Amino acid sequence: MRIKDPKLVAELAALAIDLRCATSLSELTSLGIGGTTDLLRITKHDSLPALIELLERHHIPYKFLGGGSNLLVGDGELPWVILQLAKPDPEIVIVGTLAHVDAAADLGRTVTFCAKHDLGGMEGLIGVPGTVGGALRMNAGAYGMQIGSYVREVKLYRAAARKLEILRGQQISFEYRHTSFAPDDMMLAVTLELPSKPYKEILQGIRICNEKRRSSQPLGQKSAGCIFKNPPGASAGRMIDELGLKGLSVGDAKVSDRHANFFVNAGQASAKDMLALIADVRGRVEKAFGVKLENEVVVWNA
Ligand SMILES: Cc1cc2nc3c(=O)[nH]c(=O)nc-3n(C[C@H](O)[C@H](O)[C@H](O)COP(=O)(O)OP(=O)(O)OC[C@H]3O[C@@H](n4cnc5c(N)ncnc54)[C@H](O)[C@@H]3O)c2cc1C
């Protein structure tokens, strides 16, 4: 979708929106898949209510992008524009055991920045790509921990109320790759309350988690992490592996040889290829185990 109306372009500029025309989502997602649309980078949180009002007035649908590491985006010309927060400076401010973090901040850098201030707890998140905002939305987690456990409060734009709000941690429920945020809530900043730990000890935990990832995941390849959520009490990867599906492919979309729940773009895979592979694997798992796997990857299909 293209924004061409000069009056609208001027109104966006007045809101300090950085308009990047004809951006390819294949360059903004870790899977390297996705068509083209206009990207609107938000430099001031306070401009969001006016921005959304403007887009709605012009009947322009939108989607909210973090770091693009959990997304499968459709091919071709996309029928919505993309909103993304620009990174402020500084992204993180530490006060005692509290870390005030902008949602645009890189998650990995946040973990190491907090570690250098002797604040731990998030070691398992090292190696999870993307932004802090995306991690909040997905309740990102690994190796027995999840970001939601450390959330003290979240600043967000609530589309339903059309205003910026602050939610206390107790008002939000964080479950396995699921949160109680409304689908159109936009996370802008978070305050994390983290346990004090000596830097050396945190570093040791980070090294262990890094090693576990390196030994089990196809880190050099384009992926979106796990494609499916683990069903209660079971492992999606193990079920796919047991069916001998590692290496199964549709075009350049392929089940990783290394981790059966990671599907990789081994070249020029299209969203159509990847969706066909997902449907094929889901069907085979359901037939063999009677379990319908649910997507962990977020699909934005036109
Ligand atoms: C190699 C690899 C390993 C991974 N390992 C893990 C893992 O161990 N554990 C895990 O949980 N995940 C893992 N992931 C998946 C992914 O990194 C996480 O889900 C991450 O938190 C997504 O953040 P993002 O900023 O990239 O979000 P995006 O992919 O950009 O977006 C994901 C969803 O969040 C929404 N969103 C993004 N930012 C915001 C915001 N500020 N406000 C509101 N909504 C927003 C988007 O609209 C979309 O619905 C892995 C991915 C890869 C590629």
Predicted pLDDT of residue 50 = 96
Task: Say if residues 278 and 261 touch (Cβ distance below 8 Å).
Answer: no
CA-129 nearest atom, ligand 1: 17
Residue 165 confidence (pLDDT) above 90: yes
| pLDDT tens for each residue of 113-137 | 999 999 999 999 999 999 999 999 9
Residue 195 confidence (pLDDT) above 80: yes
Ligand 1: which of 73, 109, 128, 258 to mutate, judged by most atoms within 8 Å of the beta carbon?
128
Predicted pLDDT of residue 112 = 97
Q: Average pLDDT, whole number, for the chain?
A: 97
Predicted pLDDT of residue 140 = 97
CA dist 33 and 41 (Å) reads: 20
Predicted pLDDT of residue 69 = 98
CA dist 137 and 147 (Å) reads: 10
Residue 138 confidence (pLDDT) above 90: yes
**Strands of the chain, DSSP E:** 17-24, 36-42, 62-65, 71-73, 81-85, 92-95, 98-102, 141-142, 145-146, 151-158, 163-168, 174-175, 178-179, 186-193, 249-250, 253-255, 263-265, 298-300
The rounded percent of the chain whose pLDDT value lies above 90 is 99
Predicted pLDDT of residue 31 = 98
Mean per-residue pLDDT for 81-106? 97
Task: Output the ligand 1 site: residues, CB below 6 A.
Answer: 30, 64-71, 103, 128-131, 133-135, 137-138, 140-142, 186-187, 217, 223-225, 298
Predicted pLDDT of residue 74 = 98
Closest C-alpha to ligand 1, atom 43: 186
Ligand 1: which of 64, 65, 69 to mutate, judged by most atoms within 8 Å of the beta carbon?
69
CA dihedral 213, 30, 173, 133 (to 10 degrees): 110
- Interval between CA 11 and ligand 1 midpoint (Å): 31
Predicted pLDDT of residue 14 = 97
Predicted pLDDT of residue 250 = 98
Predicted pLDDT of residue 302 = 73
Residue 243 confidence (pLDDT) above 80: yes
| pLDDT tens for each residue of 24-63 | 999 999 999 999 999 999 999 999 999 999 999 999 999 9
CA torsion through residues 270, 274, 279, 281, sign: positive
Closest C-alpha to ligand 1, atom 50: 225
- β-sheet with 249-250: strand ranges across: 249-250, 253-255, 263-265
CA-70 nearest atom, ligand 1: 29
